[in-house]
Amino acid sequence: TALSNHDLNGVQVRMAESMLNRDASLPVVVDALKLAPGNVRAVQMVVQLKAIGGTIPADALEESIQHWSSEVTKNPSAPEARVLLSQLLMAAGRNEDAAAALEPVIAERPLQKLSRAQLLLKSDKRDQSVTELESILALTKAKLNEKPDDATSAAVHVEALLSLERFAEAREMLAKFTPTKELTDVPEDNALALLYGRACIAEFDKMTGFSPGSSPESPFTFTLGDDVQVPLNLLKCAIECSSSTMQGIDRLARLSLSEGPVVEPADAMIRQLRMDNQAGIQALNLLGMHALLMKRYDKAINWLELANSQARSRNPQILNNLATAIVRGRPGDAAKALQLANQTLELIPDHPDAL
């Protein structure tokens, strides 16, 4: 377990740096589960990676599913084991089994009724799911009428709205929990702020047809309406939420590297982001990484040089990315690439990927 947790620490660091590390992180998490099938943290990370578009072979989770099935058999009344088993079954694409695993704990944990309804929706049992979600909405609405500042009921209400893809209603509900609405629509409560970011990202994806699982190595063809500012505003709100900043920047990078009338306003938004030092560095680095994957080396070098300047040559990931872009895009400037690689090694002497 100690070894698997060490590997998971590395995944956590890489995912904090960029969502582009998703596909490289998945095998590490799956291997951690094989080393320790009962590792709760690894189960949670599998669920998170699956939620952002990761592809997990169903049989890769079988050992952990068997472990938690055994735990449920030993202690059928243990809700934690049932919830973890349900999450694994969902990640393996077995949504009906995941819903069934939750059934015995719903009476004790009404919040799990929401999870079951969401799983039924993924199992193509839409009518049953919608009925349960509408029931949850009625219940939480009644509680909010009695106590308008009930953040827990608001969170469940919004989760149900998101499941029904009623994104505008979800954001409207969450905006009620914003103390300084003239400055931002992001709620003060951390759990509600996370939901607000999710709502913005989900609405953007639905509006533009973006697939989180799409390959970052090729341009994505977004479906955009006449007013490109509408999806950009959703990304702006998502970036304001710390929990969805990287997802928002990732999509903004993809827009900037696409074609059509959205490119100019997307670039304008990136220039605005640069005024926020940390978000600007993240945005420029992610843009450079996307451009690298798409073999658009001139753009990659431009953005990564800006990022490196803003980071004052103290960010090893940016230094190494810039060195890679120069080697691939300007082979005649190998001396500059070597200098950057050496700077990376000065900051992280054991960096395995430095040129």
Q: What is the pLDDT of residues 50-62, one digit of tens each?
A: 877 778 887 888 9
Q: Encode pLDDT of 5-31 as tens digits.
A: 777 888 887 777 666 677 788 888 888
Residue-level pLDDT at 279: 72
Q: Is the pTM of this model over 0.75?
A: no
23: closest CA among 217, 173, 268? Answer: 217
Cβ atoms of 212 and 202 within 8 Å: the answer is no
Task: Name which of 91-100, 102-111, 245-254, 335-344 the model is least confident about.
Answer: 102-111
* Predicted confidence band of residue 341 (pLDDT cuts 50, 70, 90): confident
Q: Encode pLDDT of 74-117 as tens digits.
A: 888 777 888 888 888 888 888 888 888 877 766 556 567 787 78
Question: Is 184 a residue whose pLDDT tops 80?
Answer: no
Residue-level pLDDT at 189: 86
